[in-house]
Amino acid sequence: MELHVLIVDDSPAMRNFIRRVLDLSGLEVSRCLEASNGEEALRVLEDHWVDAVLTDINMPEMDGEELLRQMSAHPVLRSIPVLVVSTDRTEARIQKMLTLGARGYVTKPFAPETLRDELVQSLGGGDGSN
The binding site for Mg ion (CB under 5 A) comprises 10, 56, 58
Nearer to Mg ion, 106 or 123 (CB): 106
Q: How far is the CB of 102 from Mg ion (least distance, A)?
A: 16
Taking Cα atoms as reference points, which of 33, 14, 4 lies closest to residue 110?
A: 14
Cis peptide before 112 (omega within 30 of 0): no
Q: How far is the CB of 37 from Mg ion (least distance, A)?
A: 9
Please enumerate in sequence order all residues whose Cβ is within 8 A of that of 79, keeping only pairs 6 or more positions apart, or say none.
127, 129, 130
Nearer to Mg ion, 5 or 123 (CB): 5
Q: How far is the CB of 53 from Mg ion (least distance, A)?
A: 15
Identity of residue 18? I
SS3 75: coil
Nearer to Mg ion, 10 or 51 (CB): 10
